[in-house]
Amino acid sequence: MLVVGLSNPGAEFEGTRHNVGAEVVRALAARHGSGRLRPEKGQRAVVEEVAVGQARVALAVPTTYMNESGTAVRPLMRRFGIKDPAQLVVVHDELDLPPGRIRVKLGGGLAGHKGLASVRAHLHSGDFVRVRIGIGKPPGRQSGADFVLRRPGRAERGDLDVAVEQAADAVETIVTEGAEAAMNRWNGA
């Protein structure tokens, strides 16, 4: 299985709403491995292979910008021998969910998310598992793009920190029990 956390590279994007996917993958690396994702030759991502239960899992954070995520994900799938898109878990921020809410989804629409659109375009399939982390809607007339690229306030950051840990739990459920079990457990909360 391959788990990819979508984000933008660079220190200027650390801690922004758009990078919560990468935070989840880093949390999983800390739980199950060395906690240090490393560049791998020929890949546009930092990677660590870990064991989750009895399963070998490749954890990855693309080093591309969000809207080019698919250019990293497709070669990662080849590298780790993933042929079935259902063996790919993409963790990402979601404007359509309240801050801190977690949902697991198999396939479906993109809701305007450029990272998901890139992954689907490069895989020619949307049949991958998604762990969606709610970041809420932008206030007032602020654009979605400006909102996702900003760091949240202290209270919202606290909600997102909890959500990152819960999303890591959801990924573990997907790996050990399957996507259906994860949807049953996490989508009712």
| Distance, CA of 26 to CA of 92 (rounded, Å) | 13
pLDDT given for residue 54 in this prediction:
94
| Distance, CA of 144 to CA of 58 (rounded, Å) | 31
The 3-class secondary structure across 24-60, one letter per residue, is HHHHHHHHHCCCCCEECCCCCEEEEEEEECCEEEEEE
Instruction: Examine the pLDDT at 4 and tell me if it is beyond 80.
Output: yes
pLDDT given for residue 189 in this prediction:
58
Q: What CATH number does the domain located at 2-186 have?
A: 3.40.50.1470
135 in Cβ contact with 93 (< 8 Å): yes
Residue of 18, 32, 92, 113 with catalytic role: 18
Lookup result for tokens 């029990």: 177
| Distance, CA of 66 to CA of 46 (rounded, Å) | 14
| Distance, CA of 127 to CA of 77 (rounded, Å) | 14
Instruction: Examine the pLDDT at 78 and tell me if it is beyond 90.
Output: yes
| Distance, CA of 163 to CA of 159 (rounded, Å) | 6
Domain boundaries defined on the chain: 2-186
CA of residue 63 relative to chain centroid, distance: 13
Lookup result for tokens 């309240």: 98
6 in Cβ contact with 66 (< 8 Å): yes
122 is an active site residue: no
CA angle 112, 174, 42 (to 5 degrees): 70
- What does the pLDDT average to over 22-44? 95
Sort strands 102-106 and 88-94 into parallel, antiparallel or unpaired: unpaired
Instruction: Examine the pLDDT at 109 and tell me if it is beyond 90.
Output: no
Residue 58, number of CB atoms within 10 A of its CB: 21
Q: Name residue 3's amino acid.
A: V
pLDDT given for residue 3 in this prediction:
98
What is the model's pTM?
A: 0.96
